[in-house]
Structures are given as C-alpha cells and as structure tokens.
C-alpha cells in the first residue's frame, strides 16, 4: 500500500542539498550479545529517581575502588539516558522515512539525520555495555500527521536532545565518555538548528548561550512517545 | 582553500604513544585514568577525540578560556567585517545576529577569565580574505566548524564544572551557527554523526594566517 506523497513546501535552503560524504566514525563500538533488560523507561526512572545527580566526587573516607565504581555507575545512568533519547530519535526518523510523507531533498536530509541518530545509538549502546546493563530499546509512538507537523516534532526533539546533552556535561566522570557526549551534543545542535530554520524558527532560540535541561525536565517531555 | 588549511592541520594529530604524562597534577591524573580505561576496555574504545585531547599540552582552565576568547574575537570581527561588505539581505541578517552572539561570547569569556584571576588575551588584529558573499559564507562555515572542533577538543581538559558548562553552552551556539550557514550554502548541516575534536595547536596554526598582528 503506497502512501500519498506530500511534498514539503519548496524552500530555497532545501534545493540541491549536497550530500556531504558522511564518514562513519566507529568509535566506542564494542561487540556484545543481546542483553535482556527491564523496559527502557522503567530502567531510567529507577536510575534517575531519588538519585543525586550532583557531583559525587571523592570524600576523605571513600576508597578509590569504590569511588571508581560510583563514577562508572553514575556514568552508566547518563549513558543509558542518552541511549534512550537516541533510540527515540532513531526510531522516530525510521518511522518518518517509512511514512512516505517526504521526498526529494527533505527526505535526503531526514535520512542523513536518522543515520546520525542510529550511529549515536550504536556508540552509546556499546559504551553502556562496558559499564553494565544497557537500557532496553523502547517501543515508541509518534504522531505522523503531515510533513509540516513531523518537521515541527523533529525540531522539538532535536532541540530537546541538545539541551539534554548540555545538561549532563558536568555530570559525566569518565573523560572518554565525556568526549563522546561532547561530540554528539554539537551534532544534535546542528540538527536542531537546521530543523528550526526549516520550520521558520530561529536557529538559536536561546540566543547567544544555549540552555541546558536536566533529566527531570527532559524525561516527562519524551514520555508521551514511549509505549513501554 | 581555508577549509583545506584547517583540515591538513587537523590531520597532523599525534598518536597515543607520543603522549607523555608528567607529574601528578589533576590534568595528568585524569589523562592517566582515561588511559587506564582504554587499557581495560581495549584500544578500540579510546576514540579519536580522546586521543587528540590527550595529545595536547596540559592547559589550565584559564588557558583554555583564553584560547576560546581568541577564537571568539576572531569570529566577532569576521562578522563585523562581513557586515561592512556587500552582502544580501538574508546573509546580512545572519551576520548581524551571529556577530551579536560572538560579541556576547567575548564579553562572557573575558569576564570569566577575570573572575578566575586570569588575564584575558588582548584582541588581535585580523584580516579575512573574502572578496564576495560566496567566499564570505565559505569562510564563515569553516570558522564556525573549526570553532566547534576547538571547543570539543578542549572541553575534556576543563577542570571546573562551571567552566565546562559555559563552554558547552557556547559550543552549542557555534554548532547552530555552522549548521545554519551550511544550510544557506545548500550543504549538509551536520557533516558527520560525531563532530571532530580539534587540537589547540592545530587550530591556532590554522587561524594564524588570519591574524594580522
């Protein structure tokens, strides 16, 4: 069954979008078997609920090994949080592509963005596995009514993602994981900027300084898209 | 031409084996921990970003902020000079807005450095070899992309959480700028799934031709 194609309003910016060769950065990819886990959302509610996300740091009475374990535990929670957001984004774009709402240059852009999110999933999943149990892939639901509403939703989600990463920058202990999060953060910002422009909004809605969002602020906003 | 300049400088990254760890200051401790992580999880786990970050000289937060300040001075002046040239209405609007952001970044970084007891670097004199709107936008893209890479490369070395937060808040804006300019130039807003981290020296070498004095 074919879906009626609805073309996005022709915009100068979308015409002849060049396809930069996207180099797949295969970092932090680790082999691992499937891990049966609790549902994604319940895993992170458990992770975030009641936990002090402030700097754990070291105390005079904490043994080094314990501190390291605490740090890894904290990092796992953050990585799983990011992983869940990336799962949502990757799934969203996969469904959008499947919907047939887009074609031409706009479809091309959506495919590229979706590919980026999938690469983020791959990297974060690998990282999570090195730290402990990765968050399970959530089952998602997104409204896909029209090309316009989908672009709006995409813009919302990307801006949310960028703010979410920014909100966690200071909480990540491991420098390698921090470097990875930083590398992803700016890409989400690029996505957000482009989608803002395509939906008639400012590329920089926060002005000169981007505003972070906490886990407690972000999770309720994505809850509507998680079925289980 | 300028994109090539910066790319070639980036490719001169040093390998992991060339990194020397001196003393036990906090920066070194963190680098050592990261190496330990790499040993536990395997060499493949230590991404190119961390390699480049670790290959840099140990910098204090003030040095990092001054590095950022130099780049912000550069970008602010670039947009100012762009506005003084012949640009389309759309590009003028972009240059105006982004220039305001960079000026705000200059102000914020200057204040932070002073608050931390450091001395903000003096504003260099820049020269930008764009001749028309097309070359202006091409250089704009290169400068913004380079800014993202520079911040991303320096960020893991930042010690104070507040400074890291500020850097993150700024780099996100640079990334948004970069994407907007790329879109305007009909290029992909995000060239890859992960933004590269650039070494401080590579960045400084790349922007050196733009510094008149």
Q: What is the pLDDT along chain B (213 residues), one digit of tens a residue?
A: 344 443 333 333 333 323 323 333 333 334 434 444 443 333 344 444 554 454 444 459 999 999 999 999 999 999 999 999 999 999 999 999 999 999 999 999 999 999 999 999 999 999 999 999 999 999 999 999 999 999 999 999 999 999 999 999 999 999 999 999 999 999 999 999 999 999 999 999 989 999 997
Tell whether the torsion through CA atoms of B46, B47, B51 and B54 is positive or negative. Answer: negative
- Residues B34, A174: C-beta atoms closer than 8 Å: yes
Most confident of A2-6, A18-22, A113-117: A113-117
Alpha helices, H only, chain A: 40-48, 64-99, 104-131, 147-168, 175-198, 215-222
| Residue in this structure with the two tokens 């930083």, named with its chain if needed | A182
pLDDT confidence of residue A149: 97
DSSP conformation letters of B21-88 = --TT-HHHHHHHHHHHHHHHH-GGGS-HHHHHHHHSPP--HHHHHHHHHHHHHHHHHHHHHHHTS---
Nearest in space to A81 (alpha carbons), one of A123, A39, A48, A119: A48
Convert the pLDDT of each residue in A118-132 to its tens digit.
Answer: 999 999 999 999 999
* CA distances from residue B207 to A207, B4, B51, B135 in whole angstroms, order as listed: 26, 12, 22, 16
The pLDDT of A210-222, averaged and rounded, is 98
CB A179 within 8 A of CB A198: no
- Chains A and B form CB pairs within 8 A to the count of 207
* Closest chain B CA to residue A27: B47
Helix (H, G, I), strand (E, B) or coil at A153: helix
Contacts of B141 in chain A (CB under 8 A): none
Residues of B in contact with A117 (CB under 8 A): 193
Mean pLDDT (chain A, rounded): 82
Q: How many CA atoms lie within 13 A of A160 on its CB side?
A: 22
Contact B47 A179 (CB under 8 A): yes
Please give the Cα distance from B125 to B81 (Å, whole number).
Answer: 12
Angle at A135 between CA B166 and CA A86, to 5 degrees: 50
pLDDT of A64 reads: 80
Chain B: give the shortest CA distance to residue A102, in Å. Answer: 17
What is residue A215's three-state secondary structure?
helix
Structure-block tokens of residue B140: 């704009």
Residue A70 — pLDDT band, cuts 50, 70, 90?
Answer: confident
- Encode A158-181: b = buried (16+ Cβ within 10 Å), e = exposed: bbbbbbbbbbbbbbbbbbbbbbbb
- Shortest Cα distance, chain A CAs vs residue B188, angstroms: 6
Contacts of A169 in chain B (CB under 8 A): 155, 164-165, 168
- Of B98 and A62, which is predicted with more confidence? B98
pTM comes to 0.76
C-alpha–C-alpha distance, residues B184 and A13, integer Å = 6
């Amino acid at each position: 069954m074919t879906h009626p194609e609805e073309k996005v309003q022709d915009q100068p910016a979308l015409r002849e979008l060049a396809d930069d060769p996207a180099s797949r950065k295969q970092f932090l990819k680790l082999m691992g078997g499937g891990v049966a886990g609790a549902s994604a959302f319940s895993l992170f509610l458990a992770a975030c609920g009641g936990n002090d996300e402030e700097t754990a740091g070291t105390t005079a009475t904490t043994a080094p090994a314990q501190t390291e374990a605490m740090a890894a535990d904290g990092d796992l929670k953050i990585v799983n949080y990011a992983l869940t957001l990336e799962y949502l984004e990757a799934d969203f774009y996969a469904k959008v592509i499947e919907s047939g709402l887009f074609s031409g240059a706009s479809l091309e852009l959506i495919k590229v963005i979706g590919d980026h999110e999938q690469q983020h999933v791959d990297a974060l999943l690998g990282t999570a596995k090195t730290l402990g149990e990765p968050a399970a892939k959530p089952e998602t639901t997104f409204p896909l009514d029209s090309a316009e509403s989908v672009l709006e939703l995409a813009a919302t989600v990307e801006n949310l993602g960028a703010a979410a990463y920014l909100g966690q920058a200071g909480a990540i202990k491991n420098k390698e994981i921090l470097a990875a999060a930083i590398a992803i953060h700016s890409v989400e910002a690029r996505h957000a900027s482009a989608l803002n422009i395509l939906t008639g909004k400012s590329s920089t809605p926060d002005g000169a300084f981007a505003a972070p969002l906490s886990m407690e602020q972000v999770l309720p906003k994505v809850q509507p898209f998680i079925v289980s | 031409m300028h994109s090539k300049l910066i790319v070639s400088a980036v490719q001169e990254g040093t390998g992991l084996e060339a990194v020397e760890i001196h003393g036990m200051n906090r920066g070194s401790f963190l680098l050592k921990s990261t190496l330990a992580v790499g040993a536990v999880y395997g060499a493949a786990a230590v991404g190119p970003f961390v390699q480049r970050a670790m290959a840099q000289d140990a910098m204090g937060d003030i040095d990092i902020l001054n590095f950022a300040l130099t780049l912000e001075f550069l970008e602010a002046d670039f947009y100012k000079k762009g506005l003084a040239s012949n640009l389309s209405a759309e590009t003028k609007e972009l240059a105006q807005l982004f220039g305001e952001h960079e000026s705000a970044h200059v102000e914020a970084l200057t204040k932070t450095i002073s608050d931390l007891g450091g001395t903000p670097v003096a504003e260099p004199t820049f020269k930008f070899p764009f001749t028309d709107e097309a070359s202006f936008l091409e250089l704009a893209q290169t400068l913004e992309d380079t800014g993202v890479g520079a911040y991303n490369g320096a960020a893991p070395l930042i010690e104070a959480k507040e400074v890291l937060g500020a850097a993150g808040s700024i780099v996100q804006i640079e990334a948004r700028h970069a994407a907007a300019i790329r879109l305007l130039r009909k290029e992909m807003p995000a060239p890859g799934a992960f933004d590269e981290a650039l070494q401080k020296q590579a960045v400084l070498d790349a922007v050196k031709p733009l510094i008149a004095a």
